Amino acid sequence: MTALVEVRNLVKTYGEGEAETRVLKGLDLDLETGELAALLGPSGSGKSTLLTILGTLMRPTSGSHRMLGEDLTTASDRDLTEFRNRHIGFVFQFHHLLPDFTALENVIFPAAVEAGRETREARERGRELLVRVGLEHRMDYLATKLSGGQKQRVAIARALMNQPELVLADEPTGNLDRESAMQVMDLIGEINGREKTTFLISTHDEKIAEICRRQICVVDGRAEMGRERA
Amino acid sequence: MLYGLKIAFRYLTANKTQTGLLIAGVAVGVFVFIFMSALIGGLAVFLVQRTVGDIAHVTIEAPSRDPVSLMPEGVEALVVEQRATNQRQQLRTADAFLPLIDAMPGVAVTSQQIVGNGFLVRGVVTAPVSVTGVETDKVSAIANIEKALKSGSTDLSNSTVILGSKLADDLGVGVGQVVRLQSDQGVERAVVISGIFELGVEALDARSAIVSLATARTLFNLPQGISRVEIKLADLNQAPAMAERIAAETGLKATPWTEGNAQLLDGLRAQASSGNLIKAFALITIIIGVASALLLSTYRRRPEIGIMRAMGASRGFVIFVFVLQGALIGVFGGLIGAGLGYASLLPFPVPELAPPGGLPVDVRQGAYGLAIALTAIGAVLASILPARAAARVDPVSVIGQ
Ligand SMILES: Nc1ncnc2c1ncn2[C@@H]1O[C@H](COP(=O)(O)OP(=O)(O)OP(=O)(O)O)[C@@H](O)[C@H]1O
Ligand SMILES: [Mg+2]
């Protein structure tokens, strides 16, 4: 079985000349379908950088990045935008919902922007997802009227909207209290178990990392595979 | 794209005060544009009406041989009449070409005239007059004598005269009194004053004596032929073209009103260009206002734009959303401004009927469609810069924050 994501010898440097910083120094990484992996590493080690590259929001300096068999290092911007929309979901530390839109409108954004309108099916699925994340009573609330934990659950629902193969979460619980953080992780675990969606979650939190079946550590610009739990 | 429209609309309604102010600003610009159009257009109608209302649009005369040498220096209003009294330039063949001219499309009315100079004598008082002989049923064909009548009537017989009010005052005469009319050909007739008019044009009110064609024939020893034909057109703007056509078809000298009023036309042109300048500034103000407001909004929404891009919105989609905001602002501002403009111009009488001293704005010349279209186009152009800035937002630069 081929990997969902296949990264080889990935290099990313920021800046030029004197100010050049080499963040990723030949990183190799495979992610299989259905994995629930934590991304660990000290601050500044390059976790966000890696997630951004895996999410096709940034191009690596060199190395290869394939997903679903497609070579994403050579694809055009337009193709990457479309690929991202279809196959990748994002959850960020700071929720980043569209503030002037309701919870439901936020959730269906990825589908609506693809279809050019909000279809009835999209609304149906959006409602289901919001029920699943426990926000059936907040569907028509404006994003700004939700609590931090609620916003993060809306963001997870949105990440799942287009049924992506891969969801990238950059410190999704970094801004939440312990209880909300655990709720969010339970939700991620449940979706991962049921839908075989692959999750890669960066975190500083050992407890969060322990929930994940696999742990990947970015050390000195390379990925060190942690233990794999049964 | 429906979805882009929804987002653009939501962005505009999210901050109602800001959008309201922006649209109000655009509406004011459009209002200025429309008001200037109506004012400049109205002033032109008013001034032309004022100038041309009581004169012929086209005058037909015999081709003159040497008119300049016949004009005495230093005599003001009498110049034209003096030339005609020489009788050397009469139209002998009016019957031949008049039906032709009458049949031309665009010709409203023709008036055959015999003109000449003379004196009006009452007792020991004498006043110089310019005598115009007209067809008795066309007294009011060129200048509206009927409307300007102060007393009496415009009925003309072979022994009556209609005088300008200033002239009547100078002589101290009124309707019903008898005066003697003396032509420069030495012929003298006693005539009864049948009417007195006041056109408000000094030269006419102080000098003009209108008689029937028959009376004029006697006075000026002109058993046949006429001095000139004056023509009113349906559209006075067609005068130069019509004059050219008449001259070509009859071989006579046809002069449009514009020829003697070059200053007026220059003035109107200058007025129109200054109006256009003001309108251009109104448009520029709209464009700058819309551009700066949208640029500000682009900046404020950077994080959202980044997130939309991360969620799979293309650059084109982002551009579309922002250009659409500009277009919506332009269209709404344009419609509101045009509506306000129309509503505030409507109470004004059209310039043809404007009272002296009134503002001669012309509600028909508001150029509403043009104002709305230019504003919408301007607003779209204004949004291109902010839209491109929005499309360049790098998702990576905002999601880390
Ligand atoms: N746009 C950039 N320009 C220059 N250097 C950058 C840029 N983004 C990140 N870096 C540098 O790259 C390194 C890795 O940053 P990154 O954000 O990937 O770390 P991280 O592992 O996510 O850290 P944290 O755990 O604090 O979020 C850091 O040293 C950072 O200063
Ligand atoms: Mg980070």
CA A175 to chain centre: 16
Residue B197 shares a structural domain with residue B146: yes
Lowest mean pLDDT among B122-126, B163-167, B379-383: B122-126
Mean confidence (pLDDT) of chain B: 87
**Model pLDDT, residue B80:** 52
Residue A1 or residue B223, greater confidence? B223
Specify the pairing of strand B178-183 against strand A198-202.
unpaired
Q: Is A12 in the pocket of ligand 1 (CB under 6 A)?
A: no
Q: How many CB atoms lie within 10 A of CB B145?
A: 21
Residue B93, classed as helix, strand or coil, is coil
For CA atoms B195, B197, B202, B204, the dihedral sign is negative
Measured distance CA(B50)–CA(B144) in Å, rounded: 12
What pairing do the DSSP bridges indicate for beta strands B208-212 and B253-256? unpaired
Cα–Cα dist A189/A210, whole Å = 12
Q: B201 in a domain, yes or no?
A: yes
pLDDT band (50, 70, 90) for residue A149: confident
User: Band of the pLDDT at A211, cuts 50, 70, 90?
Assistant: confident
Task: Print the domain residue range for B195.
Answer: 88-251
B225 and B319 housed in the same domain = no
Residue B199: per-residue pLDDT: 87
Same domain for B207 and B280? no
In a domain? residue B63: no
Is the Cβ–Cβ distance between B265 and B258 less than 8 Å?
yes
For residue B359, the tally of other CB atoms under 10 A from its CB is: 15
- CA B381 from chain centre, in angstroms, equals 34
Task: Please report the atom of ligand 1 found closest to the CA of residue A46.
Answer: 18
* Count: domains in chain B: 2
Q: What per-residue confidence (pLDDT) applies to B12?
A: 93
Do B282 and B373 have their domain in common? yes
Measured between beta carbons, the chain A residues lying within 8 angstroms of B318 are none
What is the pTM assigned to this prediction?
Answer: 0.77
Same domain, B116 and B209: yes
Which of B198, B230, B251 is the last residue in one of the domains? B251
Confidence of residue B69 (pLDDT cuts 50, 70, 90): very low
**Res B390: pLDDT:** 93
Return the structure tokens found at B265.
């036309």
Q: How does pLDDT run across B237-264, given as a tens digit for each residue?
A: 888 999 999 888 888 889 998 888 888 8
* A114–chain B Cβ distance below 8 A for any pair: yes
Same domain, B278 and B329: yes
Residues B94 and B233 in one domain: yes
B382 and B305 both lie in a single domain:
yes
Q: Rg for chain A (alpha carbons), in Å?
A: 17
Which candidate, A7, A31, A164, places its Cα nearest to that of B310?
A164
Interval B288-315 mean pLDDT: 91
Residues in A closer than 8 angstroms to B11, CB to CB, are 100
Contact B367, B33 (CB under 8 A): yes
**Does residue B85 register a pLDDT over 70?**
no
**C-alpha A204 to ligand 1 mean position (Å):** 15
- Residue B75 above 80 pLDDT? no
Domain boundary among B218, B251, B284: B251
Nearest to B334 by CA among B381, B365, B373: B373
* pLDDT tens string A39-54: 999 999 999 999 999 9
- In this model, does residue A128 exceed pLDDT 80? yes
Residue A166 touches partner B, C-beta closer than 8 Å: no
Strand partners, A225: A216
Give one DSSP letter per residue of A68-109, joined into a string.
Answer: TTEE-SSS-HHHHHHHHHHHEEEE-TT----TTSBHHHHHHH
Domain assignments of chain A as residue spans, ordered by start: 5-96+164-228
Q: Please give the pLDDT value at position A125.
A: 94
CB A189 within 8 A of CB A229: no
Measured in angstroms, how far is the CA atom of residue A41 from the centroid of ligand 2?
Answer: 10
Q: Which CATH architecture has domain A5-96+164-228?
A: 3-Layer(aba) Sandwich (3.40)
Asked if residue A93 has its Cβ within 6 Å of ligand 1, the reply is no
- Residues B122, B198, single domain; the answer is yes
CA of A48 to the centre of ligand 2 (A): 4
Q: pLDDT grade, residue B129 (50/70/90)?
A: very high
Identify residues of B whose CB sits under 8 angstroms from chain A CBs: 1-4, 6, 10-11, 14, 303-304, 306-315, 317, 395-396, 398-401
Cβ atoms of residues B394 and B303 within 8 Å: no
B316 and B389 assigned to the same domain: yes
Residue type, B148: A
The answer to whether residues B352 and B205 belong to one domain is: no
The three-state secondary structure class of B17 is helix
Which ligand does the CA of A42 lie closest to?
A: 1
Contacts of B64 (CB under 8 A, 6+ apart): B83, B89, B253
Cβ-count burial B225-239 (b if 16+ within 10 Å, e if not): bbbbbbbbbeebebb
In this predicted structure, the answer to whether residue B182 has a pLDDT above a threshold of 50 is: yes
- Give the model's pLDDT for residue B86: 47
* B172: number of Cβ within 10 Å: 10
Distance separating alpha carbons of residues A200 and A173, to the nearest angstrom = 13
Our answer on whether the CB atom of A76 is closer than 6 Å to any ligand 1 atom is: no
Asked, for residue B77, whether it belongs to a domain, the answer is no
